[in-house]
Amino acid sequence: GPLKPEITITYIAVSAIFFNSGLSLKTEELTSALMHVKLHLFVQIFTLVFFPTAIWVFLQLLSITPINEWLLKGLQTVGCMPPPVSSAVILTKAVGGNEAAAIFNSAFGSFLGIVITPLLLLLFLGSSSSVPFTSIFSQLFMTVVVPLIIGQIVRRYIKDWLERKKPPFGAISSCVLLMIIYTTFCDTFANPNIDLDKFSLIIIVFIIFSVQMSFMFLTFLFSTRNNSTFTPADTVAIVFCSTHKSLTLGIPMLKIVFAGYEHLSLISVPLLIYHPAQILLGSLLVPTIKSWMVSRQK
């Protein structure tokens, strides 16, 4: 159509999101959290090792059910995604947790995700993409890493102006992301051969909420056990950063890794559901977690 998503979305929109992230990320806040190595290791290992492996084991059991196999593959892609740059940080800040650690892990996880997520996708889902492996990384590098670095460089020169004017970075990223989601939904439902039954969709929504709640509870238990050295503020950052997954990086990455793949639309559906689910659940739990953290600190 006139939007030309194969150009505007694949290249321009994705680059715009990460240029915007580069402009808005405060480098000094990330460096202050750099020394909290144990917390960073916990978050990154849980997100990029335990999460995808646990989902894979769970999907071996679900494979014998009548649930749509491409939606199940989509669940696996959710497990392979890195933490998001925004939602985990916003919720950690709302509770009063370790915001600097949340910012660092979200940004660091996104950088790791650029390399690790395509490897995990190809490991768990097989090389179902017609795009050569080198092409995947070169396109990710040009549309994600380069705009992010340029954004950070530009930020150095206009830092004072950014501090004074406070441009609406969140709103800009949300608008661009909305356009990406819109074109993904169009791809999904414009396909006359799409086989999306209501039973599978309802079950997938239920599984996503269950996985989200279970993993939040699991990270909470691990980070608050007796021999743990984490503070209550650290626990808040861990719970949100370890269980949240990036839609901003995820959808563009799926479009690159599975370019031209006929079931790409169905594979994208679980990630499109997981993103609002994590924000909804996180928002509902903010008062409860906040009262727990305050009582623990007292």
With CA atoms as reference, report the closest residue to 245 among 99, 92, 81: 81
Domain parsing of the chain, residue ranges: 5-293
What DSSP character marks residue 86? S
- Determine the Cα–Cα distance for residues 124 and 116; give it in Å rounded to an integer: 12
Query: Along the 298 residues of the chain, how does pLDDT read in single tens digits?
Result: 666 555 566 567 767 777 776 777 666 655 666 777 888 899 999 999 999 999 999 999 888 888 888 888 889 999 999 887 667 877 888 888 887 788 788 778 877 887 888 888 888 877 544 445 666 667 667 777 788 788 888 888 888 888 787 777 767 766 776 776 677 667 666 666 566 678 888 999 999 999 999 999 999 999 888 777 888 888 999 999 899 998 777 877 787 777 667 777 788 889 888 888 888 888 889 899 999 988 887 7
Global pTM value: 0.75
Residue holding tokens 């509870």?
A: 217
Amino acid 253: pLDDT: 77
- Determine the Cα–Cα distance for residues 298 and 294; give it in Å rounded to an integer: 6
User: Taking the CB of residue 194, how many other CB atoms lie within 10 A of it?
Assistant: 14
Q: How many CA atoms lie within 13 A of 196 on its CB side?
A: 20
- Coil, strand or helix at 51: helix
* Domain range 5-293, CATH class: mainly alpha
Amino acid 206: pLDDT: 93
User: Taking the CB of residue 185, how many other CB atoms lie within 10 A of it?
Assistant: 14
- Determine the Cα–Cα distance for residues 168 and 24; give it in Å rounded to an integer: 9
Cα pseudo-dihedral 216, 107, 139, 80, rounded to 10:
-20
What is the per-residue pLDDT across 69-110, written as a single tens digit (0 to 9) for each?
888 888 999 999 988 766 787 788 888 888 778 878 877 887
Tokens of 208: 């996503």
Return phi, psi of residue 141, to 5°: -65, -45
Amino acid 129: pLDDT: 46
- Cα end-to-end distance, the chain, whole Å: 59
Tokens of 131: 């795009």
